[in-house]
Structure 1
Amino acid sequence: MTLKKKPITGMKDILPEEMEIRDHVLGLVKETYKTYGFSSMETPCVEHIENLCSKQGGDNEKLIFKILKRGKKLKIREAQEEIDVVDGGLRYDLTVPLARYYSNHVSELPSPFRAMQIGPVWRADHPQKGRFRQFVQCDIDILGEAGNLAEIELILATTELLGKLDFSGFTVCINDRNILKAMASYSGFQEKDYDEVFIILDKLDKIGKEKVAEELAQMGYARTNIATYLDLFDTVSPDVSGIRYLKDTLGDHLKTETAEGLEQIMESVDKAKSADFSICFDPTMVRGQSYYTGTIFEIRMNGFGGSVAGGGRYDRMIGKFTGQDVPACGFSIGFERIVMLLLERGYRIPHHKAKKAYLLEKKLSGAQVQKMLERAAAERRSGHQVLVTYMKKNKRFQKEQLQAEGYEEITDFYIDSI
């Protein structure tokens, strides 16, 4: 039987050209985030199935790659439920593992703890452009910081990174789950219905106001409540004045500190930013993860459907491990989407020194080859990337390939020229 050479559906092989871009981006991620005081850490790819299915990951919990028990623990004939045969799963994000990690090592970590975690995650999703079943996430989180400084620093660090990758003109959209709840409460919805209402509201950009109203009506909600609710979104401007309008309109439904906190974040980011972007208030933004408890944010780029980064505050997740809540906030960039955009734009890694290639005639003596290796070693010590290889018969095609790989200086060495 011939073995299959294609990767599993939803996975992909990575060719050298893309790998070089990925390595460059990862290096820039670490370099940038470390200047903000974030420390690298790592968690296992496999997590306890109980943690992954703790009703904190939203729809992602339906997309877990689950792992069967092994050996004597696997008793398929006696199993009555899935939990009887499954004890682990591949992580679907880095946030739930981080919460477990922090809970397990809190006495060994500084407070607040600025965590940077980069690694693959897995979701049994429907593959499409820019979305795979295995993909890399780059997360930064601040644990133990209750104030708005956490949100401000996370947004500044992430936008500075994107600026270093030559992205500009993008938009940071920000909202607060408590504003979503206040608007729903003001409109007459009950607290038990919030999640269902928000799921439908999240479709507003895709299906429009009329169809959102229709779906809410089909769920049995009063049309007067629906009209009041959706009309609110039409009257809110996408800046701090929109937040102030809601503060005045919603009255006791919205806490003053929630509105003023969001204002502070927007104003501070706008004044302290180093990249070219705008920040806007988007009261329709929901973000799917059910673990968010306060501020939520995402980054959108013109010409790209969906967000390229997202995050928010999740103050009640760690308490599920320890029994005591810890303030926590995080931001994750869509690494695969960023790399895809860079490749589509023909992004070139800015090399400080030229990439060089030495093409050696195959007739060179051992001593001549040794001389060229010593020369290449000296160039590498001075910071150059140097490839030493033999000439091919089709030298023109060989040079075209090298130029496509970014080699700027290609030198031929013949037996009579050394």
Structure 2
Amino acid sequence: MSVKPQNAKGTRDFGPVETNRRNYIFDTIKKHFKAHGFMPLETPAVENLDVLTGKYGEEGDKLLFKILNSGDYLKKVSDEQLQSRDARSMTRKISDRGLKYDLTVPFARYVAKNQNELAFPFKRFQIQPVWRADRPQKGRYREFYQCDADIIGTDSLLSEVSLMQIYNDSLIDLGIEGFSIKINNRKILQGFASKIGALEKLTDMTIAIDKLDKIGKEKVFEELRSKDFTEDQLTTLDPLFSLSGSNTEKLAQVKEVLSGDEIGEKGVAELEFIFKYTDELGLKTLDFDATLARGLDYYTGAIFEVKLDDGSMGSIGAGGRYDDLTSLFGVKDLSGVGLSFGAARIYDVMEARGLFKNIDSRLDALFINFSDNLTSQYLKLATELRREGFSTDIYPQAAKMKKQMNYANKRGVRYTIFLGESEAEAGIVKVKNMDSGEDREVKISEIKDNLSF
């Protein structure tokens, strides 16, 4: 017995129904991107490894999909290196390209390459697949689409306000309820690290805190102890995990702890600015979370994640400000901020909640084929219906009626149109509603007026 071919682990197919649903998500988000003045951009699937490595932290670098060099890729590897089985050192000789991990770093590379042709601030949106060598699980895939929007070339916090509006309005437009936009500022985390005298271990601190949702506070503290954080330092950090009240009240508590730390106070002030204007706009979904860390090294200011209140899925969106990302490619003083929608997770949430009921595409009309002699009439009438905005098809041959009707059911046809020799002579057709089973005899000229009963 033959074995059916399987997808590569962590990937999935999208049939016509799934693709239509996914496009609905993309189109809805794209509408809000365009409303805020963003322009479309695409970058290649493959990037040079020197573009990708070192931008996502140690954990992120481990998840890069690397592509073997063309031809004899072992040519530069010595016998000693082969015998040592040291994959890390060998990779540099057998691979110089990789699949892109996200859309932000390739975007920064694009900006650095094309800086003289762009008008700043430059606002772009991008909807493309990315790849991560992660362990597949619910809501986590190795190939998935990201929907990104970035503003680069300005440090104005109005950019953050705009991105919060896009998150809020897009998800509401998709019918998703019960979500929160968790927001923090890396300067606040830097202020805490400075306050405890551990600024040189900021990355260790943020990586540990970023795991809070997965492992809990005690495990986070255990990890910090393993990185030589003292009990006094952990005591000073503890308020991060026990804030309560409104956003304003929680910010006031942090402000008190960070009093006198210039960087930390600046982080608080930036969030106060964002909350001032999102409150005026009536956005109720923002939630200050001082433990939000975002484990990517390039973030320097506001950071945010979108999470479902019921905890049924991981974050469905994330982003933040990166003041020096393009400097990695030789271009300084270009502050940027961006967001990303997790399209695969949003799809799963909408499917689980039954939010696709009214958007699945179906064929409006199908002409049942009775005879090759009527082909010209089928083509003419189908063309007229298409011009009226009805998706219309003709069964390609005069097959048995049962076969054609089975096809109509599987295809999800709304109305079948029956036009045989006798109907053609009488100038009528029979139109059948495939959902209700009701049918009508109507004049051929009135078909378009009878595709809504």
**Do these two structures clear the TM 0.5 threshold for a shared fold by scoring above it?**
yes
Secondary structure, aligned partner of 1:128: coil
**In 2, are the aligned partners of 1:204 and 1:212 still within 8 Å (CA)?**
yes
Q: Which residue of 2 aligns with 1:161?
A: 170
Instruction: Calculate percent identity across the aligned residue pairs.
Output: 34
- Residue 75 of structure 1 aligns with an amino acid whose one-letter code is K
**Equivalent residue in structure 2 for 1:270, among 272, 276, 279:** 279
Alignment-derived partner of residue 222 in structure 1: 230
Which of these residues, 321, 327, 345, is aligned with residue 329 of structure 2?
A: 321
**Structure 1 CA distance, aligned partners of 2:269 and 2:178?**
26
**Contact 2:182/2:304 (8 A) holds in 1:** yes
- Retained in 1: the 8 A contact 2:180–2:287? yes
Greater Cα shift, 171-180 or 61-70: 61-70
**Mapped partners of 1:46, 1:238: distance in 2:** 45
Task: Supply the distance in 2 between the matched residues of 1:349 and 1:379 (Cα, whole angstroms).
Answer: 25
Give the Å deviation of 1:224.
Answer: 2.2
- Residue 205 in structure 1 maps to residue 213 in structure 2: yes
Q: CA deviation at 1:216?
A: 2.6
Q: Is the 8 A contact 2:55 2:296 kept in 1?
A: no
Partner of 1:136: 145
Q: Is the CA contact (8 Å cut-off) linking 1:142 and 1:329 kept in structure 2?
A: yes
CA distance in 1, matches of 2:273, 2:323: 19
Q: In the TM superposition, what are the counterparts of 1:119-268 in structure 2 within 5 Å?
A: 119-186=128-195, 188-255=196-263, 256-268=265-277
Name the CA distance, whole Å, in 2 between partners of 1:354 and 1:4. Answer: 29
Shift of 1:335: 0.7
**Residues 268 and 413 (structure 1), Cα distance of their counterparts in 2 relative to 1, 3 Å cut:** farther
Q: How many angstroms does 1:375 deviate by?
A: 1.8
Match of 2:59 in 1: 59
Find the partner of 1:309 among 302, 313, 317.
Answer: 317
Alignment of 1:56-95 (within 5 A): 56-71=56-71, 75-78=75-78, 81=89, 82-95=91-104
Q: Match of 1:331?
A: 339
CA distance in 1, matches of 2:216, 2:359: 46
Matched, 1:113 2:113: no
Q: Distance in 1 between matches of 2:215 and 2:18?
A: 35
Contact 2:322 2:335 in 1 (8 A): yes
Quote the residue 2:297 is aligned against. 290
> 2:5 and 2:152 mapped to 1: Cα distance?
44
Counterparts of 1:263 and 1:308, CA distance in 2: 24
Q: Which residue identity lines up with residue 98 of structure 1 in the other structure?
A: F
Encode CA deviations 1:220-279: one digit per residue, 9 max, x unaligned: 3221221231134314435122112222331112544321221121232233257xx511
Structure-2 change in CA distance of 1:135 and 1:411 (3 Å):
same
Please tell me whether the aligned partners of residues 171 and 299 of structure 1 are also in contact (alpha carbons under 8 angstroms). Answer: yes
Task: Determine if contact 1:298/1:311 at 8 Å carries over to the other structure.
Answer: yes
- Could you tell me how far apart the structure 2 residues matched to 1:383 and 1:155 are? 36
Count of residues in Structure 1 that have an aligned counterpart in Structure 2: 410
* Aligned counterpart for 1:370 among listed residues 371, 376, 390: 376
Residue 437 of structure 2 corresponds to none
Question: Which residue does 2:365 correspond to in 1?
Answer: 357
Distance 1:159-1:374 versus aligned 2 partners, 3 A rule: farther
Q: How big is the shift at 1:330?
A: 0.5
Contact kept? 2:139, 2:313, Cα under 8 Å: no
Partner of 2:423: 417
| Structural RMSD (CA) | 2.6
Q: CA deviation at 1:3?
A: 7.9
Q: Which residue in the other structure is 1:6 paired with?
A: 6
Select 1:348's aligned residue among 329, 334, 356.
356
Show structure 2 runs of 5+ residues with no match.
Answer: 82-88, 425-453
**Distance change in 2, residues 1:392/1:10 (3 Å):** farther
TM-score, reference length from structure 1: 0.90
Higher deviation after alignment, 310-319 or 3-12? 3-12
Aligned residue identity for 1:30 = K
Aligned to 1:47: 47
The letter of the residue matching 1:90 is L
For the 8 Å contact 1:58–1:289, the answer to whether it is kept is no
Q: CA deviation at 1:334?
A: 0.2
Report which of the two structures shows the higher radius of gyration computed on alpha carbons: 2
Shift of the alpha carbon at 1:113? 0.1
How far the C-alpha of 1:380 sits from its partner, in A, is: 1.7
More RCO (CA 8 Å, sep 6+): 1
Structure 1 CA distance, aligned partners of 2:401 and 2:149? 47
How far apart, in 2, do the equivalents of 1:140 and 1:240 lie?
28
Structure 1 residues not aligned, in runs of 5+:
none
Matches within 5 A, 1:395-406: 397-403=406-412
Call closer, same or farther: CA 1:205–1:31 in 2, change over 3 Å: closer
Counterparts of 2:209 and 2:203 in 1: how far apart (Å)?
Answer: 10
* More off after superposition, 290-299 vs 386-395: 386-395
| Cα contact 1:291–1:316 (8 A) shared by 2 | yes
Deviation string, structure 1 residues 278-298 (Cα, Å, up to 9, x no partner): 111000101121111111011
Amino acid at match of 2:152: L
